[in-house]
Each structure stands twice: as C-alpha cells, then as structure tokens.
Amino acid sequence: MPAEEQPAARALVFGASGAIGGALADALAERRDIADVVRLSRRDDALDLTDEAALRAVAARLSDDGDPFRIMIDATGFLHDGDNTPEKALRQITSAHMAKSFAINTIGPALLFKNFVPLLPRTGRAVFATLSAKVGSIGDNKLGGWFSYRASKAALNQIVRTAAIELKRRSPEAICVSLHPGTVASPLSAPFAKTNLDVSPPTKAAAQLLAVIDGLTPRDSGQFFDYRGARLPW
C-alpha cells in the first residue's frame, strides 16, 4: 500500500548525521504521512552501534512515547577511515580492519534489529530497511577486492534475510529489506568516485530509496533491492 494511504506515524533514521541518512530524515520530515522523525547518530547522540546497553536504553526511551514507528531506516556504515582503506589484494587484509567492518556493518545493524524491531507495530504495514551495498552481493562479484567491506555487507544481507523470517511471524504485514543506494556523493564515497561513475547527490538518492520503500509489499520482505527497485542477487 502506498505510504500516502497510511495513517500518520513516526519514522526513525539511524545514522542521521551522515549525508544520505540526513537526506532521508529530511525527506521523511516533509511527508504528510509522517508525524515525526526521530534522528539518531553517533555524532549528535553518541550512538555507538557496538554498545548494546546504550542501544537498549534508547529503544526503551522511545518505546515509552507510545506512538508506533512505521518506517525505520539504518543508514549507518563503514568503508574507510584514516587507518583503513578497502583492500585491493589478499595481502592487504588485516584483522583490525575486518573486525571494525563487521562491528559496524554487520553486528551493529543486527543489534539494531534486536532492540528496535519490537518498536514496530504488530499489525499494519511497517518497514525496517538497512543500507547495504551492491558489492556485498556474492553473485554479482566480478572484480574482487574490498574483502572486509564485501564480506561484512554480505553478512548483513544474511542478517536481514533471517530477521525477515522472524519478523513475519510477529508482524505479518511488516517488511525487512536490504537496499543498495548507488554511489552517493559523501565523505564515504569521495575517495573512490570516478569521473565516469554515476554519483547521485544525497537528496536524489534519498528520494529514490523512499520511492522503493513505498512500493514494497510483505512479499518483498527479506530481499535485496537497488535504488531503482531492481532485485539484486545474493
């Protein structure tokens, strides 16, 4: 059912201080079907995806508000920092880089599912979407490299698939998906954006992703889609 037909409800965006997370939160705030947008981020709220006690406390606080969340979007993620860059060859793999990639890209979202899915209503349409990446597709991997990022996003996709099965038992009309946003102009992608690569501004990427979310049905739960709504291979 299109989002405009739903009663006004709340939306929750994790990673709202980032380029695409902020654009998603702003776009949701402009919608008439969304009464309120809760923005959470490491920068503004000291939200640490690896600190489950802190996540549990935030979820408990939000659950006390009473109004249901109909849309939750996880826009967190890690690709590189001052000490780590995507590996181009096996010899560049380090345990520290891989551990950080899995901590933020896989374990963190899994803890978000664990602690925040209970805030979704048991009846009616609701969506929990997490931003994955096309390079996390095992079936689409033709170039190699980027071991830690690819593996952590592939693992995230498995978490989504598995969570969707459990969510269906709890909330039959709820939807849980992985979304590939494409290459978005942001600090995360800046070092790797090529001149011939289609790079979207965050506002465009957010609009595309929300259009995909609006078109999802419960039959799509547990799947992996790109920003055009095309289903991606695992």
CA distance 90 to 85: 13
User: What pTM did the predictor assign?
Assistant: 0.92
3-state secondary structure of 194: coil
Percentage of the chain lying above the pLDDT 70 cut:
91
Q: How confident is the model at residue 195 (pLDDT cuts 50, 70, 90)?
A: low
Q: Which residue has the tokens 């609701």?
A: 126
Q: What confidence category does residue 3 fall into, taking pLDDT thresholds of 50, 70 and 90?
A: very low
In this prediction, residue 9 carries a pLDDT of 87
Q: pLDDT per residue over 9-49, tens digit each? A: 899 999 999 999 999 999 999 999 999 999 999 999 989 99
What domains, with CATH codes, occur in the chain?
A: 3-226 (3.40.50.720)
What is the average pLDDT across 204-229? 97
Query: pLDDT by residue (tens digit) across 56-115?
Result: 999 999 998 768 899 999 999 999 998 889 999 999 999 999 999 999 999 999 999 999
Query: Between vectors from CA 94 to CA 89 and to CA 96, what angle results, nearest 5°?
Result: 145
In this model, does residue 1 exceed pLDDT 50? Answer: no
DSSP states along 31-82: -TTEEEEEEE-HHHH---TT-HHHHHHHHHHHHTT-PPEEEEEE-------S
d(CA 205, CA 218): 23
